[in-house]
Structure 1
Amino acid sequence: MARDLGTKGGYVTAYLNDVDFDALAEVNERAKLAKDLRIARQEFHADHPPAKAQVMLTRASDIVAEPIVWLWPGWLPAGKLSILAGSPGTGKTTLALSMASIVTTGGAWPDGAVFREPGNVLMWSSEDDPADTLVPRLMAAGADRDRFYFVDQVTDMDGELLPFDPALHIDLLAARLEAIGGVRLLIIDPLVSAISGDAHRVNDVRRNLQSIVDLAARHRCAVLGISHFAKGTKGSSPAERVVGSGAFVALARMVMVAGKDEAAERRILARAKSNIAPDDGGMAYAIEMLSMDGLEASKVTWGELIEGSAREILGEVEQDDEERSGQDEAEEFLASLLSSGPVRTREIKSDADGAGYNWKMMQRAGSRLKVEKRKLGMKEGWEWALPKGTAPEVDTKNPELYTVSPSGSNVPFRNHAGFQGGDFGNSPEGDIGKGVDSSEKSGDGGEI
C-alpha cells in the first residue's frame, strides 16, 4: 500500500496542484442552492396545488329570465339569426327591403302588428347594385334612407381600401354597429358569402356563422340572411331545401321560405322552421313594378294570411302544369259531388279513391272551394258542404248538425251550438280529434 502511494505520490501531488478549490466550492454551493430551491418548490406546490382546467357551471336561479324581443312578432326576432330562402324569381331581396323599410320608419307589419321603435338597418349585398337596384327599391317601399346603410369597403392598417368580406370582417362590422348605434337589422345577401370554407361542411359553416350569431346577440340586432333553395329539392321539407350544410338551418332561430306560382303570379311567404314561435302559417304577396322619376323598381304588395304548414303552402304554389291540371280536375270532381247537398266524408273518400284522387287532393280542393265542414255528432263523423249560396244549408235529416266556417270561426248550423272537441274514432278524416280539449270550443275544426 505504502509502496503504491509512494510510486503514485508524484502524480497525486501534481493533480492536486492543478485543482481550483475555489471554483469547486462555488460549484458545490450552486448544487446546494439548486437542491434548496427544488425542496422549496415542492413544499410550495404541496400547499398551493396548480389550477386545473374545469367546466364552469351557472345555477339556473342566477340567470334572469328574459322574453323574446321581436321586430316582427312571430317572424323576425331581435338578437337572432333568421334565414329567408326561396327559388330564383320569388323576390327575396325585395321582401327583405320591404321588411327593412318598416324597421326604418315604424308602422304596421303585413299581419297588422305595429312596430313602434324604428331604427337603423345595415345591408351587405354581393348580388345587386345599390344605385340602380337597391336604393330604387327602398324608395318604392317608402323606407327612411337616412336610417339605411350599405356595407361597402374596409380599410387595412395602412389605410388601403379593400372589399368587405363577411367571412373575414365581421369583427370590424361589429365595431361600426357599435359606433352607429340603434342598429335593429342587418341583412346579408347572400348568407353563404359569410362562409370562408366549404358551405356544405358543417364545421366550416358553424365556425363562420357563430361570429354572426354572437354579433346578433351582443347588439340585440336581428340578422336576416338571404339564401336559395338547392336544386332538385322540390317537394321535400322546406327547411331542408336551403342550399348548403344543414348547419345554416340549425343555427338560425327562424327560417322563412318564399314560393311562386308561375301560372297565377301568386307568391307566398311561409315559416318553415322556428325554435321560438309557431312554425306554420304564411302570407300572400305580389311583386309590382313602379316607375319613379325615370327609375324602375319592384315593390311588395302584401295579401291575405294563409293557414297550413310551409310544405303545404309551398306545394300549393309550386305545382307543375300536370299537377295543377290534376288538382283542377279534383276540384271539379268535389264541386260536382257536393252540388246536391252535404256529403259524408267517408263517402267523399270512397268516391275519390274510385276516381283516382287521393285524400290530400280532396283537402286542397275543399280548401279552394271553401267547403264547410260539419260535425254530425260525437260518433257520426263529418259532412262537407259547398259554401252558403251554392248548396242547401239546412240538412233536415240531421238536426244536430254543426258548421265550422272556412274562416275558422264557429257558425251554428241549426241549434246555434258550437263545435265541441271529442273522440272521433278512427275516421278517414285523420286525427282531427287529437289535441282538442273537450272543455274548449274549437275555432278550427281540424284539417279534415
Structure 2
Amino acid sequence: MEEETKLAPKLELIRASQIDPKTVEWLWYPFIPYGKVTLVQGDPGDGKSTFMLTLAALLTRGAPLPFTEPKTPPEPLHVIYQTTEDDADDTIVPRFMKANGDRDRLIFINEKDMPISFDDVRIEEAIRTTGARLLILDPLSSYIGDCQINAANEVRPRFNHLIRIAKETNAAIVVVNHLNKMFGIKAIYRTPGSIDIVGAVRSALLIGRNKENEDERVMVQQKSNLAPTGNAIVFSVGEDGISFIRESELTADELLASFSEKSGRPDTKTQEAMEFIRDMLSDGEEHEASECEARLREAGISMSTAKKAKRMLGVVSSKPHYSWYWRLPEDED
C-alpha cells in the first residue's frame, strides 16, 4: 500500500485563468496549421506526394501558396521531407527541382542505419537543429511504428508523440496516407485503420481525380477543427509538374461519391432537379449560388439532390469576388 502511494502521480490543478490564450498560426490557412498535425490522403497515383513536394518548393523559395494573398512577401522556409516510397536521387529531388525549389532548404533525415518512426527523438532534434517549419512523413504506414493500425488505443499514443513535437516546436507536421478500397462510404471512413487517425489530426485533406476531367486533380478539406472548411482546389499534374487552376465548392464526400455512383439514367428526382437548374441558368449568365440554392429549396428540391444534378450537368462554379456563382458549361448555354 505504501509503495502504491509513492508511485501515484501527484495531483496538479490548473485554472483557466492561469493560461494565456493565443491564436492559431497558419502555414496555409485554413489547410495546414503551425504547431499541429495535418493528414493528406488519396489513392495511389493521384498526386499526393507531388502535391506536397510542390508546396515544399514554394515554401523554400518564399513564394505564396496557392490562392493566398499575403500582406507581406513570405520568408523562405526550411522543409524536412521523409519518404520510403521514392528515392531522393532519381525521384524526389528531380521533382523538387522541376517545381523550382531551393535545394539547400529541403532536408532529409538519414534513415540508412535506422528507420524513422513517430516516436523517434531525431524528428524533434532535426526540426530544432534546422529551424524547419514543415515536416512531411510519407506514407503513414512506414512511419507510425510498431502498432495495430486498427486499434485506437495503440494509434493515438503514436500520434501523441507527433502532436507534442508539433506543439513544442511550433512546426507544421504533415502525414501522407493512402485511402482504403471501401468505395461508396463517407470520406472520413476511407482512412485505413482506426478512425482515431483522423481524430488525432486537426486538419485532414483529401486528393482525388476530377471525374469530369481525368487530367485534373482536386484537393478538398475532409476535416477542419481550427477554422471554417476551405474551398476545394483544382490542379493538374503534367510533365512540367503541378499547375494550380481554380477553387471549387466540391466536398470530400462528393469527390469520392463521383467514383462510386452507378452508371445509367438519373432517378426521377435528379432529372427534375437537372431540368430546374438548366432552366434557371438557361440565359447563359452567372447567377449567385445562394440565390440559386434558395430557389431550389422553394421548389422542394433537397440540397443533396441539387448537388448531384449540378454535378451531372457540369455546372461551373466560380468565385470572382466574395460570392460563389453558377453558370452552365459552354456546350449547355
Structure 1 residues 219, 407: CA separation in 2 closer, same or farther (over 3 Å shift)?
closer
1:322 to 2:263 alignment: yes
In 1, Cα distance between equivalents of 2:38 and 2:281? 46
Letter in 2 for 1:261: N
The residue aligned with 1:246 is 195
Q: Secondary structure at the match of 2:57?
A: helix
Please tell me whether the aligned partners of residues 59 and 76 of structure 2 are also in contact (alpha carbons under 8 angstroms). yes
In structure 2, do the counterparts of structure 1 residues 163 and 97 end up closer, same or farther at CA, with 3 Å as the change threshold? same
Matched, 1:68 2:16: no
Structure 2: which amino acid aligns with 1:131?
A: D
Query: Within 1, Cα distance between the matches of 2:252 and 2:26?
Result: 21
The offset of 1:261, in angstroms, is: 2.9
Structure 2 unmatched ranges of 5 or more = 285-291, 327-333
- Cα drift, residue 359 of structure 1: 4.3
Structure 1 Cα separation of the partners of residues 127 and 173 of structure 2: 12
Alignment CA distance shift 1:345-1:103 (3 Å) = closer
**Looking at CA atoms only, which structure, 1 or 2, has the larger radius of gyration?**
1
Corresponding residue of 1:379: none
Q: 1:59-81: CA deviations, max 9, x gaps?
A: 21211111111111211111110
Paired with 1:340 and 1:187, the residues of 2 have a C-alpha distance of 47
Highest RCO, 1 vs 2 (Cα 8 Å, sep ≥ 6): 2
Cross-structure match for 1:217: 167
| Structure 2 match to 1:89 | 45
Residue 226, structure 1, aligned to residue 168, structure 2: no
The offset of 1:315, in angstroms, is 3.2
Structure-2 separation of matches of 1:340 and 1:186: 49
Matches within 5 A, 1:237-276: 237-261=186-210, 264-265=213-214, 266-276=216-226
Q: Which moved more, 1:104-113 or 1:52-61?
A: 52-61
Residues 127 and 133 in structure 2, CA contact (< 8 A), matched pair in contact too: no
**Cα distance per residue 1:336-381 (max 9 Å; x no partner):** 655887997589768x9xxxx95443343567166xxxxxxxxxxx
Counterpart of 1:190 in structure 2 is 139
Q: 1:152 aligns with which of 91, 105, 110?
A: 110
Residue 123 of structure 2: which of 148, 173, 197 is its match?
173
TM-score by length of 1: 0.60
Which of 286, 304, 315 matches 1:368? 315
Shift of 1:167: 4.6
TM-score w.r.t. the length of structure 2 is 0.79
Give the aligned partner of residue 246 of structure 2.
Answer: 304
Asked if residue 199 in structure 1 is aligned to residue 149 in structure 2, the reply is yes
Name the counterpart of 1:28.
Answer: none
The sequence identity of aligned pairs, in percent, is 26
Aligned residues: 305
**CA shift in 2, pair 1:321/1:366, >3 Å:** closer
Residue 145 of structure 1 deviates from its aligned partner by 0.7
1:335 and 1:104, CA in 2 relative to 1: closer, same or farther beyond 3 A? same
Please say if residues 88 and 228 of structure 1, whose CA atoms lie closer than 8 Å, have aligned partners that are also in contact.
yes
Counterpart among 65, 76, 81 of residue 109 in structure 1: 65
- The 1:407/1:164 distance shift into structure 2, 3 A limit, reads closer
Task: Give the whole-Å Cα distance in 1 for the aligned partners of 2:306 and 2:128.
Answer: 55
- Separation of aligned partners in 1, 2:168 and 2:103: 25
Cα-to-partner distance string for 1:155-188 (whole Å, 9 max, x where unaligned): xxxxxx62323155x21232232222x2101000
What amino acid maps onto 1:300 in structure 2? I
Whether contact under 8 Å (2:42, 2:206) holds in the other structure is yes
2:263 counterpart letter in structure 1: E
Counterpart amino acid of residue 162 in structure 1:
D
Classify 1:163/1:363 alpha carbon distance in 2 versus 1 (closer, same or farther; 3 Å): same
SS of aligned partner of 2:162: helix
The CA distance in 2 between the partners of 1:346 and 1:199, in whole Å, is 43
**For the residues of structure 2 that align with 1:364 and 1:139, how far apart are their CA atoms?**
37
Tell me the alpha carbon deviations over residues 280-328 of structure 1, each in whole angstroms, 9 at most, x when there is no partner.
52100100113xxxxxxxx111011112432234434x356826x749x
**CA contact under 8 A between 1:196 and 1:208: conserved in structure 2?**
no
Supply the distance in 2 between the matched residues of 1:409 and 1:73 (Cα, whole angstroms): 18
**Could you tell me which residue of structure 2 aligns to residue 163 of structure 1?**
114
Cα deviation, residue 50, structure 1: 8.4
Q: Deviations over 1:119-155 (max 9, x none)?
A: 21111111111111100110111111100012222xx
1:79 aligned partner: 35
CA distance in 2, matches of 1:340, 1:284: 26
